[in-house]
Amino acid sequence: MAVRVRPDVYGLQDWGDPLLWYARAVAHMQQRPDTDPTSWRYQANVHGNLPPGQLPGQWDQCEHQTWFFLPWHRAYLYCWESIVQAAIVEIGGPAGWSLPYWNYSDTTNPNARILPPAFRASTLPDGTTPNPLLCQRGSKANSGQVVFPESHVSLAALNEPLFPGAPHGGSTGFGGPVTGFPNHSGAASGVLENVPHNAVHVDVSGLMQDPDTAAQDPIFWLHHANIDRLWTVWLANSPHQNPTDSTWLNSTYSLHEASGPVTFTANQVLDPTAAPLSYTYETAAVPAVPAVSPTPRAMTTPPPPPQQTPEMLGATEAPVSLAADQVHANLRLEPPSGPAARAAPGPTARVHLNLENVTGETGAVNYDVYVDLPEGADPDQHPELLAGVLAPFGVARSSSRRDPHTGGSGLNAAFDITSVVARLRTEGAWDPQNVRVSFVPTLGDDEPAPLRVGRISVYVTP
C-alpha cells in the first residue's frame, strides 16, 4: 500500500483541491443521520457525547489526561479519514485524499497562528454555497485575527524526555500520565496535550473548547493531525521512545472506519507509515529551536531515572478564584523530607507547579501562569518567569458530577518550573517561604468565565 502524505494546510492554496473536497465531504457527511456511523455527528460524538447520557455504538470514548491520548487519537483520526475519503469518492472526487495538518507553531510562516482562510470563509469559492468548514468559534478566530500567543503553540513538549508521566505531582510526560484504560483518573494532561493541544482548543473557542463538541468543528481534525505529527517529530529525536508496557501497547480501541467496525491496539498504530495506516507528514523534521519554550531545557538533558516519586513541598491553603484581571496567590514551601531529601542533588531533579481541581462552567480563555512575577510588572516583559499555560479545555465537563473521569473534581495541570526556579535562585530572588504564582488571562472573545483553582502546589522529583 502506497504511503500517503498528509500536507501542511498552509502549503495548499486557500481553496486548494484537498480543502475544497474536504468541505464538500463535510457537507455530505452532515446530511447523513446521526445514527449512521459514517455521519459527521456520529463521528464527532465518538470523541464527545451530545446529548449527554446517550451512548449508541462507540460514542464518548475520547482519551484525555492519560498516556493513551496519542494512540487513541491516532486511530480515531485514521478511521475518520477513511470515512472522508470514501465520502469524497462517493460525491465524485478523487481517491486517496489525505487530511491536512495545521502547523500553528511554524515560525517561518507569519500566518501560522491564524485560522486557515478556508475555515473562515462564509462561502465556498462559488460565492453562494455556504461553507461547511465555517462553524461556531470565537469571533476573533473566525475573523482571522492573530489570537494565539506564541506560548500557546510552544513546542517545549518536544524537550520532554519521557513519554509516560507521573499521575500526580511530577512531570506528566510527553504523552501523558500513566493511568488505567479507559482513563477515569482525572489526572493532569501530558505536556504535549496541554500545550499546544489544550491551548489551541481554547483559543479557537466555540465548539472546540468542549470535548463533547470539539470534533464537530472541521478544524479539529487538522489540529489533531498536527498533534499526531508532533508525536512523530518527538520520536525522531533520539533517545525518545514509546512506552513498552504491555498495558499501553495492548489497549484496544473500538472504532468505525469506512468499511465498518474496527478495533485497534496502540501497538498497531505506532508506525503510521505501516499498513493499514500508511501515511506520513509533509514535514516531520525536528525543529531546530522550539518556537517558545516557557521552560527551556536542552535537548541533550538526560532523562531522569524512572520510577522516582514526586514529593510535595507546599500548597495553598484555600482555593483561588480566577477572573478577568490578574490574580496572585502565595504559598510556602518546606524543605524536602522524603525522596528528594534522600537523593543526592543532581541535574535531573525537577520542580513542578501543580494546579489542582480547576473547576468552572466554561473554559473561555487560557491563563498564562507566572512564578514570582514582580508586583505591577508587565507579564509580557518576563517570559523567563512563565511557568506554563492553564488551558481549561473540558473544564465544564470535568466539573460536572456526570463526568466519569473526574466525578466533578475538575482539571489538573502540571508545569515544569525547574528552569524558572534555577534562574530565580541564580538571581537571589527565590524565596521558598513566599512563592508568588500569578494568573494572567490571555485575550479571548468574551469576559473570562469564572474559574476556580482548588489548590496550587509545588512538587520536587529527585
Partner 1 sequence: MSARRWLWRHPEVLALGLSAVAWVLLFAPIGLPASLSMSGMSMRSSSPGSMPSHMSMAGMSGMMGEDGTSGGATRLAAMPRFLPMSGISGAISTGDTTSVSHRVGAGWTLQMFMLMVVAMMLPSVTEPIRLTAALSLWRRRIRAIVEWILGFAAVWLLAGAAILCARQLATHNGLLPPGRLPMVAGLLIAAAWQLTPLKRLSLNGCHRLRPLAPHGPRADRDCVLYGAVIGRDCVVSCGPMMAAMTLCDRNQAIVTVAMTAVVLGERLRRRTPRKTSAVALGLLALASF
State the nearest-atom distance from the C-beta of 317 to partner 1, in Å.
Answer: 5
Q: Is residue 454 a contact residue for partner 1 (CB under 8 A)?
A: yes
User: Quick one: 67 or 148, whose CB is closer to partner 1?
Assistant: 67
Q: Is residue 311 a contact residue for partner 1 (CB under 8 A)?
A: yes
Which residues share a beta bridge with 8? Answer: 101
13, 361, 402, 427: which one binds partner 1 (CB under 8 A): 402
Residue count, binding to partner 1 (CB under 8 A): 41
3-state secondary structure of 414: strand
Q: Is residue 286 a contact residue for partner 1 (CB under 8 A)?
A: no
Longest dimension (CA), the chain: 70
Buried b (16+ CB within 10 A) or exposed e, 173-190: bbbbbbbebbbebbbbbb
Which range in 134-142, 204-212, 267-275, 406-414 contacts partner 1 by CB under 8 A?
406-414
Q: Which x/- pattern over 176-195 shows residues binding partner 1 (rule: CB under 8 A)?
A: ----x-xxxxx---------
Q: Is residue 447 a contact residue for partner 1 (CB under 8 A)?
A: no
Stated length of the chain: 462
Q: Is residue 343 a contact residue for partner 1 (CB under 8 A)?
A: no
Give the residue among 314, 301, 369, 372 at the shortest CA–CA distance from 340.
314
State the nearest-atom distance from the C-beta of 308 to partner 1, in Å.
Answer: 8
Buried b (16+ CB within 10 A) or exposed e, 395-427: bbbbbeeebebbeebbbbbbbbbbbbbebbeee
CA angle, 445 as apex, 444 and 448 as ends, to 5°?
60
User: Quick one: 298 or 318, whose CB is closer to partner 1?
Assistant: 318
State the nearest-atom distance from the C-beta of 358 to partner 1, in Å.
Answer: 10
Distance from chain centroid for Cα 458: 22
State the nearest-atom distance from the C-beta of 436 to partner 1, in Å.
Answer: 17
Q: All 3 cell numbers of residue 176?
A: 501523558
Q: Is residue 457 a contact residue for partner 1 (CB under 8 A)?
A: yes
* Cis geometry, peptide bond prior to residue 239 (ω within 30 degrees of 0): yes
Give the residue among 210, 227, 223, 206 at the shortest CA–CA distance from 135.
206
Q: Which x/- pattern over 356-385 shows residues binding partner 1 (rule: CB under 8 A)?
A: xx----------------------------
Task: List the alpha helices (DSSP H) in 293-357.
Answer: 339-342
State the nearest-atom distance from the C-beta of 363 to partner 1, in Å.
Answer: 18
17, 274, 407, 425: which one binds partner 1 (CB under 8 A): 407
Q: All 3 cell numbers of residue 343?
A: 537523593
State the nearest-atom distance from the C-beta of 63 to partner 1, in Å.
Answer: 10
312, 327, 349, 443: which one binds partner 1 (CB under 8 A): 312
Q: Which x/- pattern over 290-309 shows residues binding partner 1 (rule: CB under 8 A)?
A: -----------------x-x
CB atoms closer than 10 angstroms to residue 447: 11
Positions touching partner 1 (CB under 8 A) are: 61, 167-169, 180, 182-186, 307, 309-315, 317, 319, 334, 336-339, 356-357, 401-410, 412, 454-455, 457
